[in-house]
Chains A and B, each alone.
Chain A
Amino acid sequence: MPRADVVVIGAGLAGLTAAARLAEAGASVMLVAKGHASTHWGSGGIDVAAPVGARTPAEGVRTLAAPGHPYAILAGDAEAAVGWLTGVLATAGLPYAGSLQTPIRRVPTALGGTRRVAIVPDAQSAALRPWDPDEVLVVAGPAGFKDFWPAAVAGSLARDAVWHGSDRPARVVGVAVALAGLAERRNVNALELARRFDDPTTRAADLDAFAAALRSAAGRRPGRVALPAIVGLHAHAEAWADARARLPLEPFEVPLVPPSVPGVRLWQALRARIRATGGRVQVGEQVHRIETAGDRVVAVEMEAATRALRITTGALVLATGGIAGGGLVATADGRIVEPLLDLPVETPPHDGWLRRDALDPAGHPIEAAGIRTDATLRPIGPGGATFRNVHVAGALLAGQLALRERCGDGVAIASGWRAANAIVDTGVGGTLAATSAGHSAGPAGIAS
């Protein structure tokens, strides 16, 4: 059965970062995942740290880096890791704007609220620039598209309250734009619309329709236009360049509920990168057993139609996600289990898992459940280290309230990077050398 220097489990930002970094370092890496999750559910941006009061992600990281938080271990890596990843993405044709030093600002959401961001895909970046006092914001989307309601979004954004004291556009207008043939379509979702923008001919006509609607909505006033994040999927770069050229107002994309088009773009770019550097990426693989020998993981078994597919490995990056991502399972009687290795999970008391108010600004204690690690992200339990060649990354790490602290992407990237580096460091004389002579990764890009 196949071998790999490193198996990475999980295709979220943490697993993708680790795999990309390892592949780049020359390791034979195999990323396996049950399915898509966090990339396809998220905004496509990179939330590094934006706790209340933080002015930049760097400041946020410093605030959060108290004992018990993943940043207590990872703070020093965040800047380098995020810089490296955005560099990789730029090379892959999906440039991002912003860094850890970029001021955190409020940008509009598809619900007509705002969220605090600093590092976003280029297509979302125009929302980050401060608003001039006379600027108009036009919220424009295809008529009949059920995941973006321009009138509602504009109505809500017209209120001071949602801007929380930051500068804001002078006027907000909502426009629903009728696109040719769309009203007759029976299946319209964000991905479908994004593919429509991939096609140069349809795109030109659609952008002209948008342009006309914007001219009548904004007149000659200066301003920007918020579009749902549907401007191209495979041909996003071309589509976005076209949108900028053809629209009378400067556009920015607003991410939507899943399926997230910016998230799918991110996944595709990183997958392509990993494959291009010799790594394998297999989604649809349910790891059902991990074989251990003493304090080491030696193989990973995947569910198959009959015989489990067994992959021997020198190291493991566990990036299976928290409860939302399915990497941790909460049982009815109040336990939280990490089902692959049965790692010790730091679990809040059952009575306090969820606060009384769904929208409690303090977040819910259960979000902080997770695995404790040492500085190289190896899991530790009450009796010390558990496995020597396992590194935990992403939402599995204990101590983060990712929603409140807006730190999930930064922790994922920094921990993916740290895990990869730790393996490379220990593996130069060990893991990598020991296994790379054998039958390893096979030809570049052999898996889907």
Chain B
Amino acid sequence: MTVPHTADVLVIGGGATGAGVVRDLARRGLRALLVERGDYGTGTTGRYHGLLHSGGRYVQKDQVAARECIEENRVLRRIAPSSIEDTGGFFVATPDDPDDYVQEFAANCAASGVDCDEVDVQTLLAHEPALNRRIRRAFRVPDGSIEPWQLIDSTLADARRHGSEAVSYHRVIGFEITGGRITAARLRNERDGSETTVWTQFVVSAAGAWAGQIAALAGVEVEMTPGKGTMLIYNHRMTDAVINRCHKSSDGDIMVPVHTVAILGTTDIKVPDPDDYEITREEVARLVDEGTKLFPDLPRMRILRAYAGVRPLYKPPAEAAVGGNRSITRAHAILDHADQGVDNFVSIVGGKLTTHRLMAEQTVDVVAEKMGITARCTTAEEPLPDQHEGKTYWLGHRLADIEAEGGGDADLLCECELVTRSMAEAYLDRHWPCTIDDLRRGTRVGMGPCQGAFCTFRVAGLVAERLDAAAQDGSGEQRAIHAATADRALGAFLRERFKGTRPIAHGRQLQELLMTNGIYSGVLGLDSMAAPSEPPAGSPTPEVVDAAR
């Protein structure tokens, strides 16, 4: 799409928070524009363990955060049911968890308004046989898992319905500031390098861990303390409910079933740059060790990949660095930069996916007041579009849908995640032009155990057919460029998957990786194709690959 030249409000950052902000603005009658440097949900939102918080993780140390979580949990179940799997969750007391924490847990939940029932341990073990048999007590809470990309998709669709816009692959590279006000932002199109200017009355930075970088463009200081959280994706759901350790939050103490996989989270390590960090084997080993206290067989279960996200933790200037990153508030803060000399610029920092709507509401309240808008927030009331008849997500739906259409595997491009040709075509129809990696987030293609070995070339084939059709009237040269693009996308995709496999490469997953290399190199000759790391000149879609799960 073409970028509009003006917007009432410019929202920077296409994660859940930014999407929530643009939706809220739109519903209050403002014409907002959201800009995102990559694809939507590829920052912290997409690099996340998938938990819809009940608030239980905060009841002891931050009752405000806990209360916000449970309230927003209820709101999201109402407005975005099909992005949520109602897995339920449990806090379980392993022999390693301190008695006082366990004893106070139910009371703390009650004080924060988090629904919590103690359940019979034997009954829980009967449902979840992979759990540690030595668990002493168990508390049930309304945790769930949430699909961030679909949530953002729906949220942006609602914003568009109400007259606002969003563009991806556009990076803010500078602001025009006149008389203490931002009057315009300069954007660079990340696909073709072209630049445009958007004139605006107000700017909201929802750039999360990158908020400091955006603020700096306006000459404002926002000190973020990006906290790297590493997670491990297990090949199968050893649990159908979210399982938390009943203790003060720490590394490797939560397992979240998300779609076909289960995600073990997380670590929390301060990193200087949210774009530059590495996952170490030591982190992986630590996560597995801790996770083993919940699931004793964990060391024998197959890890598909490791990935990391960067928490948008905010360190208020007054707070001294004591107690490491876990002591920094998970709650959010809205920073009005008027006191730093820019009057029409706020940043929303901190927070979590579960409370993104509330964060957006509070942010827009500030914006509205400053802009003299009186319309009230309606985002908690109406369901988002594309939320299938109010039903929550069900793991078996893809299999059931395919069976309902007669079954068979002829049409399956991705056999691990059951992505059919028609599903992929439908995604491409909606989002074209896009990368294979965008298609992955949209459909889960390549996210299963083979990590793309058997589907990537099929998807590349599908994309090539589309490019071929588009180039029917074009020259042979154009087709060659398209073919080169498909190659690079393929190489980029395999490389990105490899990044996540590398830190966990052992056992079956290393075997799979080497088998895949054997096929791509020995049978398919990928190594003969234009060196995927060097984009040829004039390529229409530079690789923008940012893989999370």
- A-B interaction: yes
Interface residues of A (CB under 8 A from B): 41-43, 47, 106, 109-115, 144, 146-147, 149, 151-153, 155-156, 158-159, 161-162, 164, 174, 185-189, 255-258, 260, 322-324, 326, 329-334, 350, 353-354, 356-359, 361, 364, 366-367, 402-403, 406, 408
Please, which residues of chain A bring their CB within 8 A of the CB of B467?
155
A158 touches B511 (CB 8 A): no
Minimum CB–CB distance for B96 against chain A, Å: 21
Complex contacts, A111 vs chain B, CB 8 Å: 457, 460, 490, 520, 524-526, 529
With a cutoff of 8 Å between Cβ atoms, the chain B residues found around residue A255 in the complex are 523
- Are B458 and A147 neighbours in the complex by a CB distance under 8 Å? yes
Contacting residues, chain A, for B299 (C-beta < 8 A): 332
Asked whether, in the complex, the Cβ of A109 is within 8 Å of the Cβ of B507, the reply is no
Please give, as numbers and ranges, the residues of chain B lying within 8 Å of A149 by CB-CB distance: 457-458, 460-462, 464-465
Q: Does B121 contact A (CB under 8 A)?
A: no
List the 3 shortest-distance A-B pairs measured between CB atoms, nearest first: A186-B408, A149-B461, A358-B498
Contact present for A41 and B519 (CB under 8 Å): yes
Is B454 positioned at the interface, with any CB of A under 8 Å from its CB?
yes
Query: B305: CB under 8 A from chain A?
Result: no
Which residues of B are found within 8 Å of A162, using beta-carbon distances?
A: 525, 528-530
Q: C-beta contact mask, B288-301 vs A, less than 8 Å → 1, else 0?
A: 10000000000100
Q: A366 vs B510: C-alpha distance in the bound complex, in angstroms?
A: 10
From the candidates B411, B484, B490, name the one contacting A161 in the complex (CB within 8 A).
B484
Identify B523's interface contact among A260, A361, A367, CB under 8 A: A260
Residues of the B chain whose Cβ atoms lie less than 8 Å from the Cβ of A403: 517-518, 521-522
Residues of A within 8 A of B498 (CB): 354, 357-358
Assess whether B511 is in contact with A323, with CB atoms less than 8 Å apart.
yes
* Cβ-defined contact, A151 with B464, below 8 A: yes
**Which residues in B have their C-beta under 8 angstroms from that of A260?**
523
Smallest Cβ-Cβ distance to B519: which chain A residue? A257
Smallest Cβ distance from B345 to chain A, in angstroms?
Answer: 39
A256 near B468 (CB under 8 angstroms)?
Answer: no
Complex Cα spacing A240 to B491, Å: 34
Q: Across the interface, do B528 and A357 meet the contact criterion of CB distance under 8 Å?
A: no
Contact residues in B for A174 (Cβ distance below 8 Å): 468
Q: A324 touching B514 by the CB < 8 A rule?
A: yes
Residues of A within 8 A of B462 (CB): 149
Residues in B neighbouring A333, C-beta threshold 8 A: 285
Q: Which of A106, A326, A353, A357 contacts B495 (CB 8 A)?
A: A357
B474-517 CB contact bits vs A (8 Å, 1 = yes)? 00100110111011001100110111001001110011001101
A269 to B465, CA, bound (A): 37
A146 to B412, CA, bound (A): 8
Further 13 A-B residue pairs, CB within 8 A, beyond A185-B408, A358-B497: A41-B515, A109-B525, A114-B528, A115-B525, A155-B467, A161-B484, A187-B408, A323-B511, A354-B498, A364-B517, A366-B510, A403-B518, A403-B521
In the assembled complex, the Cα of A114 lies from the Cα of B484 at a distance in Å of 14
Whether A324 contacts B484 by the Cβ 8 Å rule is: no
Contacting pair A159 B457 (CB below 8 A): no
**Could you give 25 example pairs across A and B, Cβ below 8 Å?**
A41-B523, A42-B523, A109-B525, A114-B528, A149-B462, A151-B468, A152-B465, A152-B468, A155-B464, A155-B467, A155-B482, A156-B486, A159-B530, A161-B484, A161-B530, A162-B525, A162-B530, A329-B507, A330-B505, A350-B281, A354-B505, A358-B495, A359-B527, A364-B517, A367-B514
**In the complex, which residue of chain A has the Cβ closest to the Cβ of B480?**
A159
Shortest distance between the CB of A400 and any CB in chain B (Å): 13
- Known A323-B514, A331-B506; contact A152-B460, beta-carbon cutoff 8 A: yes
Contact B494 A359 (CB under 8 A): yes
Of B412, B461, B499, which contacts A152 at CB under 8 A? B461
Question: CB < 8 Å: which of B502, B515, B526 contacts A359?
Answer: B526
User: What residues of chain A lie closer than 8 Å to B528, measured between beta carbons?
Assistant: 106, 109, 113-115, 162, 164
A356, B480: Cα distance in complex, Å? 29
Which chain B positions have C-beta within 8 A of A146?
A: 410-413, 421, 458, 461
**What 0/1 pattern do residues 386 to 417 of B give for CB contact below 8 A with A?**
00000000000000000000111111110000
Chain A: CB-nearest residue to B462: A149
B529 & A257 in contact (Cβ 8 Å cutoff): no
Which of A260, A359, A403 counts the most B-chain CB atoms under 10 A from its CB?
A: A359
Cα of A109 to Cα of B487 in the assembled complex, Å: 13
How many A-B Cβ pairs are below 8 Å?
182
Is B533 on the interface with A (CB-CB < 8 A)?
A: yes
Cα distance, A331 to B509, chains bound together (Å): 11
- Chain A residues near B484 (CB, 8 Å)? 159, 161
Q: Is B532's beta carbon under 8 Å from chain A? A: yes
Query: Would you give the shortest CB distance from A177 to chain B, in whole angstroms?
Result: 15
Residue of B nearest to A361 (CB): B527
Residues of chain B whose beta carbon lies under 8 Å from any beta carbon of chain A: 281, 285, 288, 299, 406-413, 421, 454, 457-458, 460-462, 464-465, 467-468, 476, 479-480, 482-484, 486-487, 490-491, 494-495, 497-499, 502, 505-507, 510-511, 514-515, 517-530, 532-533
Contact A158 B480 (CB under 8 A): yes
Is A109 within 8 A of B523, CB to CB? yes
- Nearest chain A residue, comparing its CB with the CB of B529: A113
CB closest chain-B residue, reference A354: B502
Quick check: B523 and A110 within 8 Å, CB to CB? Answer: yes
Distance (whole angstroms) from the CB of A314 to the closest CB of chain B: 32
Specify which chain B residues have a CB less than 8 angstroms from the CB of A256 in the assembled complex: 523
Nearest neighbor of A111 in chain B, beta-carbon distance: B524
Q: Which residues of A contact B499 (CB under 8 A)?
A: 358
Q: Which residues of A contact B411 (CB under 8 A)?
A: 146, 186
Is A158 in contact with B461, judged by CB distance below 8 angstroms? no
- Residues of chain B lying within 8 A (CB to CB) of residue A408: 522
Known: A41-B518, A155-B482. A330 touches B510 (CB 8 A): yes
Give every chain A residue within 8 A of B491 (Cβ-Cβ): 359
Beyond A146-B410, A332-B507, is A156–B487 a contact (Cβ under 8 Å)?
A: yes
CA gap between A162 and B511 in the complex, in Å: 28
Assembly CA distance A164 to B460 (angstroms): 22
Task: Knowing A112-B483, A155-B468, A158-B483, say if A186 contacts B507 (CB, 8 Å).
Answer: no
CB contacts (< 8 Å) of B458 on chain A: these are 146-147, 149
Interface contact B529-A161, CB-CB below 8 Å: yes
On whether the beta carbons of A114 and B519 are closer than 8 Å, the reply is: no
Q: How far is the CA of A406 from the CA of B511 in the complex (A)?
A: 19
What's the nearest-Cβ distance from chain B to residue A51, in Å? 13
Q: What A residues does B497 contact at CB under 8 A?
A: 358
Give min CB distance, B262 to chain A, whole Å: 18
- Per a CB cutoff under 8 Å, which of A106, A323, A359 touches B510? A323
Selected from B479, B505, B515, the residue in CB contact (under 8 A) with A158 is B479
- Contact partners of A109 in chain B: CB under 8 A: 523-525, 528
Question: Please, how many angstroms separate the alpha-carbon atoms of A159 and B484 in the complex?
Answer: 8
Chain B residues within 8 Å of A361, by CB:
527
Q: Which residues of A contact B413 (CB under 8 A)?
A: 146
Please indicate the chain B residues that have their CB under 8 angstroms from the CB of A406 in the complex: 522
Which of the listed residues A111, A144, A153, A406 has the most CB atoms from chain B within 10 Å of its own CB? A111
Bound-state Cα–Cα, A344 to B497, Å: 32
Q: Which residues on B sit within 8 Å (CB–CB) of A257?
A: 454, 457, 519, 523-524
CA distance A399 to B297 in the complex (A): 34
User: A113: which of B465, B482, B515, B525 is its contact (CB, 8 Å)?
Assistant: B525
How distant is the Cα of A115 from the Cα of B506 in the complex, in angstroms?
29
Q: Is the CB of A155 within 8 A of B524?
A: no
Assess the A258–B480 pair: CB atoms within 8 A.
no
Q: Known: A152-B468, A330-B505, A408-B522. Is A187-B494 also a contact (CB below 8 A)?
A: no
Distance between Cα atoms of A155 and B472 in the complex (Å): 12
Chain A min CB distance to B193 (Å): 23
Residues of chain B lying within 8 A (CB to CB) of residue A159: 480, 483-484, 530
Max chain B C-beta neighbours (<10 A), residue from A43, A115, A334, A402: A115
Q: Are B406 and A332 in contact (CB under 8 A)?
A: no
Chain A residues within 8 Å of B524, by CB: 109-111, 113, 115, 257
Give the Cβ gap from A398 to chain B, nearest Cβ, in Å.
15
Q: Are A156 and B409 in contact (CB under 8 A)?
A: no
Residues A330 and B523 in contact, CB atoms below 8 Å apart: no
Q: Give the CA-CA distance A47 to B281 in the complex, in Å.
A: 35
